[in-house]
Amino acid sequence: MKENGNNKKKRIKEYGVDALFLCAGCAVGACATMSVMIPNGLTGGGITGLVRILQSFFPMVNFSVMYYGFSIVIWLACLIFLGFKEARKILVMTVIYPLFLFAFEYLDIRFLEEKDVILAAVYCGIFYGICNGLVFSRGFSFGGADTVAKILSKRLLPHISISKLLLCMDVVVILASGFVFGRNIALYAIITSIILARVTDYVLYGFETRIVKVEIISDKHEEISDYIINDIERGVSSSLIRGEYTGTERRMMVTLCSPRESMLIRARISKLDRNALITVIHADSVWGKDEDFRNIEGE
């Protein structure tokens, strides 16, 4: 009974954190659209850019209303073509995000004191990146262009990856924006998209590389492992690998450490085995129990 009570409290806590992150993300994203992008005459990729194009032909329809319509259509298409399991993943954002768009459209808040397309393009990218990062970090997804790309990949173009389809869709929308709003506006949209992608990564994984993966192939594996374990105080795993050219079997060691520690390991190996092969791989994020790693439960 006590364990069930603890599990219930944990679920309630998770739901509360989810609600907090989603509301914060939706608020920032709605602010980017209604308080930065539209007042400065800018546009973007995906569904937002498509709605901006259509609104230019139908100015009597509010942006939030049109966006809500597209969200519902995409959710229904997801339900039909991808099934309820996929539709359930985007249901929350399909309902919540347009509500925030309604609210910011009604409040008519302007983020910048005066029209400045350069600042607007930059801050749109920053705000959208924060929005995506907060939402994605809790395992949720927008029912936008990514869902359309999934449908196209599954039903019509299975030989093309979702990421390529998504890129093509964004390119088409931005190019179309160039014809509707002008070439400069399309170029600003590209700047916004680039900043958006980088800020999303920063929110999800942090601003700096804290951990790198070091792969070491050396005949001095015992001495190197002893140094990493006892001096660097990091764990090491190893496995036998076979070089296809020579047919020789050697041992490869793998460790996770900070960038600074990887340089110490390299310096030590250079003294032990000048014929060693070292590969250092950038790791965006590592989840585990070590204090230098992110909590695997996301807390």
**The CATH number of the domain where 221 resides is what?**
3.30.70.120
Residue 290 lies in a domain: no
Give residue 232's pLDDT band: very low, low, confident or very high (50, 70, 90): confident
| Residue 164 and residue 239 in one domain | no
Domain residue limits at 221: 211-283
- pTM exceeds 0.85, yes or no: no
Residue 274 lies in a domain: yes
**pLDDT at res. 204:** 77
| Residue 108 and residue 255 in one domain | no
Q: Identify the three-state secondary structure at position 109.
A: coil
Residue 167 lies in a domain: yes
Domain total for the chain? 2
- Please tell me which residue, 245 or 107, carries the higher pLDDT value: 107
Among positive and negative, which fits the CA dihedral 258, 264, 268, 270? positive
**pLDDT at res. 1:** 55
Domain boundary among 184, 205, 226: 205
Distance CA 194, CA 148 (A): 21
- The yes-or-no verdict on residue 267 having pLDDT over 90 is no
Query: In sequence order, what DSSP letters do the residues of 138-192 get, joined into one string?
Result: TT---SSHHHHHHHHHHHT-TTS-HHHHHHHHHHHHHHHHHHHH-HHHHHHHHHH
Domain boundary among 182, 205, 228: 205
Q: What is the mean pLDDT of the chain?
A: 87
**pLDDT at res. 297:** 60
Q: Identify the three-state secondary structure at position 238.
A: strand
Distance CA 208, CA 212 (A): 11
The radius of gyration of the chain's CA atoms, rounded to the nearest angstrom, is 24
Can you tell me the mean pLDDT for 90-98? 91
∠ CA(205), CA(125), CA(95), 5° rounding? 85
**pLDDT at res. 215:** 93
Distance CA 207, CA 284 (A): 10
Give residue 295's pLDDT band: very low, low, confident or very high (50, 70, 90): low
| Residue 241 and residue 181 in one domain | no
Can you tell me the mean pLDDT for 220-246? 89
DSSP 295: P
